[in-house]
């Protein structure tokens, strides 16, 4: 009787071990979504001038030095200098087949304060990206948080999402900007994004409106509740959950969303 019980016990242990091994094998076979980074040229930020506050001037109103298209080696023709402003034009004059695409400043920033001013056309939509990687065949927002630029009064995105988390200065589709203090289309807004050791703060018109911490369980939960969840978009979830990659750094970019947008006084203070 004891002998039979021993055999039964050993058999049960064996089955349990086999089941665990099988389960672990399944887990080990799960692989991350495939992607490849582009290794395009970058600029040396030290070649750029600083303003009186010690911030590098990324756009001085007269040159597009340091700028190029996302995953491109040139500036797309829909981006230009217009009366001292950086402008994305929906239909630039004189261009029959104008080239669009997002625009980046080709330097990897890690801890920084990005400041700029922006205005947008009626019913316009755009955005700002940071800590972004250039992923082959993928849009910039697959790897980057987005500070939304929007005409809240006229663009349908303002009424979508959850609790206004697609309105201006929001962390797009994740955290709404509060208070919502943007100025209407055609008027200048002031924006500031501070990234310091994973803590990110959005400012709009000199007020703090959003704050969050990257690389935390709370950050993962935000992603899981958004359009970038693991179930909805596995690659975006992986890249955004580890935003900035091993270096925890990346490029800054402005979005081509098909609407006219103007930018000026773009500076970055390295922290």
Could you read off the pLDDT tens digit of each residue along the chain, which spans 271 residues?
444 434 333 344 343 333 343 333 333 345 689 999 999 999 999 999 999 999 999 999 999 999 999 999 999 999 999 999 999 999 887 666 899 999 999 999 999 999 999 999 999 999 999 999 999 999 999 999 999 999 999 999 999 999 999 999 999 999 999 999 999 999 999 999 999 999 999 999 999 999 999 999 999 999 999 999 999 999 999 999 999 999 999 999 999 999 999 999 999 999 9
Q: Give the span between the Cα atoms of 60 and 49, in whole angstroms.
A: 9
Q: Give the span between the Cα atoms of 109 and 130, in whole angstroms.
A: 8
* Residue 10 phi, psi (nearest 5): -60, -40
Residue at token pair 């625009």:
103
- Give yes or no: residues 18 and 87 share one domain: no
- Give yes or no: residues 95 and 224 share one domain: yes
- Give yes or no: residues 26 and 39 share one domain: no
- Give yes or no: residues 183 and 83 share one domain: yes
- Give yes or no: residues 104 and 117 share one domain: yes
- Give yes or no: residues 202 and 236 share one domain: yes
- Give yes or no: residues 22 and 148 share one domain: no
- Give yes or no: residues 21 and 114 share one domain: no
- Give yes or no: residues 24 and 45 share one domain: no
Q: Which residue segment(s) compose the domain that 20 sits in?
A: 1-30
Q: Which residues pair with 175 in a beta bridge?
A: 171
Q: The domain spanning residue 50 has which CATH number?
A: 2.60.120.560
- Give yes or no: residues 142 and 200 share one domain: yes
**Residue-wise burial string across 168-189, b where 16 or more C-beta atoms lie within 10 A, e elsewhere:** bbbbbbbbbbbebebbebeeeb
- Give yes or no: residues 24 and 41 share one domain: no
- Give yes or no: residues 131 and 150 share one domain: yes
∠170-173-176 over CA atoms, to 5°?
Answer: 35
Structure confidence at residue 254 (pLDDT): 98
pTM, to two decimals? 0.87
Number of domains composing the chain: 2
């Amino acid at each position: 009787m004891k002998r039979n019980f021993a055999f039964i016990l050993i058999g049960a242990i064996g089955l349990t071990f086999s089941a665990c091994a099988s389960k672990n094998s399944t887990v080990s076979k799960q692989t991350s979504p495939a992607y490849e980074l582009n290794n395009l040229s970058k600029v040396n930020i030290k070649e750029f001038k600083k303003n009186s506050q010690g911030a590098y001037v990324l756009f001085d109103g007269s040159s597009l030095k340091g700028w190029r298209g996302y995953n491109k080696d040139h500036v797309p023709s829909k981006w230009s200098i217009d009366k001292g402003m950086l402008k994305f034009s929906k239909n630039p004059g004189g261009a029959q087949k104008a080239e669009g695409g997002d625009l980046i400043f080709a330097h990897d920033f890690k801890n920084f304060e990005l400041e700029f001013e922006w205005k947008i056309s009626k019913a316009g939509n755009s955005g700002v990206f940071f800590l972004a990687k250039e992923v082959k065949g993928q849009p910039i927002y697959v790897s980057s948080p987005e500070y939304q630029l929007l005409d809240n009064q006229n663009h349908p995105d303002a009424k979508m999402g959850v609790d206004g988390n697609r309105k201006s200065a929001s962390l797009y589709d994740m955290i709404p900007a509060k208070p919502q203090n943007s100025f209407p289309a055609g008027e200048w807004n002031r924006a500031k994004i501070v990234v310091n050791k994973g803590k990110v703060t959005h400012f709009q018109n000199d007020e703090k409106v959003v704050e969050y911490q990257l690389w935390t369980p709370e950050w993962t939960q935000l992603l899981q509740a958004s359009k970038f969840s693991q179930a909805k978009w596995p690659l975006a979830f992986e890249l955004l959950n580890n935003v900035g990659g091993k270096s925890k750094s990346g490029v800054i970019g402005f979005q081509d969303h098909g609407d006219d947008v103007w930018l000026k006084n773009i500076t970055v203070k390295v922290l």
